[in-house]
Structure 1
């Protein structure tokens, strides 16, 4: 259910973090957890494990699910400390904080953490999105106590050693530079900046080369102290473990994590008004186009009819309207899809097209025509039922691995969707009508709001 659509892969870390990804034991446990024993073993078993939630005295929300197929446990900590919280003058602070938490603690250097993880064959990683940060661990049940010691040490006592932080900054800056050669990344950056104007969603999660270079360990420690608190976090624990064991083994290790007041971040989002066209000239062989508009926040009831709308319009499969019109009938697009991004404070919707530079104008016109069609014509019953069948059938499969299910449960709580959301999702999708799809299309879709093209503008005949 992750609201953050995956973008083209970023460059792998080249600093010490790489050592974690390279140890053989980690690969072994990830292989077991991710490939051999998914939570769902086939079409006959589509029920998701039930989850229970408790709240600790320090106000940490703890969600537990049992799945005893293999002797392993997954932990996923979600902290409301995404790039939305970045200060205006320090973009990338949230991301660098999340990545740097693993680099050392008051009692362990990064090398010592790495050696201990290698010894027990556990994985430990961190990530940051626009809305939240994630820290995850996968560990065999027999090594749970040792794994928990490392997990709680890094989340409660990070020290942000300057030499390792500098290396992490170099990795991020290198990734940012590599993205400048990727037309999709360039278009995505320009689209967000044009659509979200001057609010945190307008900036890359990673920040800019300049802003990242200027972040020091003092800023990291301050950001950590401000947001990495139990009352600002959700911890999901699942796998070969019971709620009783969680209370006996895990809870005692978390009681020293102290709650504190959390600063409220203004949630108002301003969007681009009218028609905004951005043309970026690059010596590339094809044109990359993004056109779109604002959309709903994740907790909105409009999310469900819009999901069905998107499945019909541009889900990426060969039967979607955009694929049929632009690729199959006209042969214009190498790739075409649409997707909504629903976040906590606002959302966006975009169509992405990759085509020959000479076909850019025609591709944009056809895509806008399909968007207008959604605003004026109800979808057919056949399209409606096919979209519902796909969405409801694919839903449990997306969370068939322990780690994905753990992240999913954390986000359900974060976005306030209700603990029974996994049971309600199918009914929410199946209740969508063609009239509701027409309604959300008229409400949100603005075909000419923001258009970004990255191309050889002379070949594309765009000024």
Structure 2
């Protein structure tokens, strides 16, 4: 049992059939929100030939069960003012649900039927396939997506993180209803389920509801084997794509470690310092002082496998070379000298403030606890996060920068004019 706040209490329990249940008692509003995670599902469980299969699964999952057609499912959800949907990411697949407390058993029961007895109607599969293909093609028209696709594919060769969660035109066209049935049979099982609930509900009430909806669901005899993904070694490199656009997108980033890496918290703070908000270093230096950026930022996603530390800028084509040099200068500044105590404290205050603001609703609480459990950190990580951030020193952030910011990956999408300015650029 983990205490999360004076008015909230979070419990975790494992049920008889292997389902992990997390319950955050938050009686402020007469609502319950839930996230049902499948940690052994999502993009990292796809082969390169299967890229996008779990995304298509999420799109079709709510479109029919053995007892209800798609329109009947929608009518049930809307008739009680609830919400229900499925999504997928690199590291998991999830079902999201929310309703007033008195109707939560109803919406949970419907979610159970969707998880356990989807029918994947051919008509719905074809419709969602067409929508996905349209989204893939639309992304190829957006300069940032083009540059980031190029960046991601070259940083993660022959790795599931190198593929878009949507898949590719080729893979999505190849999927069949039978493919969806096969991954459903393999991955949808009680011992691959984490149910995280938050709201006006007790642990006892939640256990009774989950038992009613999922208690008779048994695991197959075959275990779902752990996925093995080899660690990559940073290589760096430069990749350019011609894109007829009024701005150039420049991405500069570095391959980093996993959520269990010793530098994880230091890199979170460096990302916040460099690219989070209007007071961040990149915004002030490259946009406010030099006028180079339409958009500039940095991000360091929390990933189960090796993550990436990314900086990017959208700039006028004539400024492409200067913008790239600016990004590199600011990351190398962190390698050359440590942050000041004041700079580090400002980054800590900003990161912890935004972290707290991200846990205001029942949906956010259900998401964060279920997510932490699904990637192996556990619900206690919520408390540990603040402690770890507060303990980070300038020496540790400096060491993290020196370890990771050595071999830059550079991806640029822009006009012929923009790319020509990069011919003589060498980053040292």
Q: What's the TM-score once normalised by structure 2's chain length?
A: 0.94
Q: Aligned residue for 1:107?
A: 67
Q: Distance in 1 between matches of 2:418 and 2:298?
A: 25
For 1:122 and 1:166, the matched residues in 2 are separated by 27
Corresponding residue for residue 405 of structure 2: 445
Q: What corresponds to 2:268 in structure 1?
A: 307
The equivalent residue for 1:62 is 21
Report the CA distance between 1:459 and its aligned residue.
4.1
Q: How does 1:265-304 map to 2 (within 5 A)?
A: 265-271=227-233, 273=235, 275-304=236-265
CA contact (8 A) 1:194 1:272 kept: no
CA distance in 1, matches of 2:197, 2:28: 15
In the alignment, the residues of structure 1 paired with residue 5 and residue 284 of structure 2 have an alpha-carbon distance, to the nearest angstrom, of 31
Structure 2 residue matching 1:305: 3-state secondary structure:
helix
Instruction: Kindly report which structure 2 residues correspond to 1:204-283, keeping only aligned pairs within 5 A, or say none.
Output: 204-260=164-220, 261-271=223-233, 273=235, 275-283=236-244
Deviation of residue 460 (structure 1)? 4.5
User: Counterparts of 1:346-425 in structure 2 under 5 Å?
Assistant: 346-425=306-385
Match of 1:399, SS?
A: coil
Distance between the aligned counterparts of 1:57 and 1:314, measured in 2? 46
Q: Show the counterpart of 1:327.
A: 287
Distance 1:135 1:127 in 2: 6
SS of 2:377's equivalent in the other structure is: coil
Give the drift of 1:424: 2.3
In structure 1, distance between residues paired with 2:418 and 2:384? 50
Which ranges of 4 or more aligned residues in structure 1 deviate by more than 4 Å?
45-48
Q: Supply the RMSD in Å over aligned alpha carbons.
A: 1.6
1:359–1:460: 8 Å Cα contact kept in structure 2? no
CA offsets 1:76-128 (integer angstroms, 9 cap, x no match): 10102111111221211111112211111111111111111121111111111
Structure 1: segments with no counterpart, 5+ residues? 1-44
CA distance in 1, matches of 2:7, 2:366: 11
CA displacement, residues 4-34 of structure 1 (integer Å, 9 cap, x when unaligned): xxxxxxxxxxxxxxxxxxxxxxxxxxxxxxx
What secondary structure sits across from 2:411 in the alignment? strand
| Partner Cα distance (1:460, 1:196) in 2 | 23
Corresponding residue for 2:420?
461
In structure 2, runs of 5+ residues without a counterpart are 424-428
**Equivalents in 2 of 1:459, 1:306: separation in Å?**
31
Structure 2 counterpart SS, 1:341: coil
Q: How has the CA–CA distance of structure 1 residues 264 and 250 changed in structure 2, closer, same or farther, with 3 Å as cutoff?
A: closer
